[in-house]
Amino acid sequence: MKHHDRHQPSQRQLRVGEQIRHSLSEILARGELHDPELIDVSITVSEVRISPDLRNATAFVVPLGGAHVGETVAALRRAAPHLRALVSRGLRLKYAPTLSFQADTSFDEADRIGQLLRSPQVVRDLHHEDDDSGEDGEDDRGA
């Protein structure tokens, strides 16, 4: 195995992770969990990363609207053994992966970056750079 490949998931890891993501999404959409903190909560499973040995899977989740993230993740962690059993029925693996759950912060990070790009200071700097590049281009042609 090449050095740079060690950090990239294999095609099998990606495929199994996606199968687990679909299975979790369906289970959550059908409301098969009876935890009071998960009733009437729409949860997005954005990604599932699985270990190279396919024994541990981390699901990144966010409740619709981003409300009560901590409570939702805690409830999913409590339900992890039950979810593991449900998910394993649809997988053809030697071992059912242990599930763990983490809040997906990528949506928040994307929103934060978008706000930064729309901030007056950045807009001013970008506009200023556009003006400078036009002037530099004119100076280069005249020289």
The whole-number average pLDDT for the span 3-21 is 83
pTM for this prediction: 0.72
**Residue 70: alpha-carbon gap to chain centroid:** 16
Q: 27-53: per-residue pLDDT in tens?
A: 999 988 888 888 888 999 999 999 999
Residue 30, domain extent: 3-104
User: Do 88 and 22 fall into the same domain?
Assistant: yes
Question: Rounded CA gap, 65 and 41, in Å?
Answer: 10
Compute the mean pLDDT over every residue in the chain, rounded to the nearest whole number: 83
User: Do 23 and 65 fall into the same domain?
Assistant: yes
Question: Rounded CA gap, 85 and 96, in Å?
Answer: 8
Task: With a cut of 80, say whether residue 129 has pLDDT above it.
Answer: no
- Here the CATH number for the domain that contains residue 71 is 3.30.300.20
User: Do 9 and 64 fall into the same domain?
Assistant: yes
* CA-closest candidate to residue 39, choices 68, 18, 60: 68
User: Do 53 and 68 fall into the same domain?
Assistant: yes
User: Do 71 and 60 fall into the same domain?
Assistant: yes
User: Do 67 and 117 fall into the same domain?
Assistant: no
pLDDT-derived band at 94, boundaries 50, 70, 90: confident
Domain count, the chain: 2
User: Do 49 and 34 fall into the same domain?
Assistant: yes
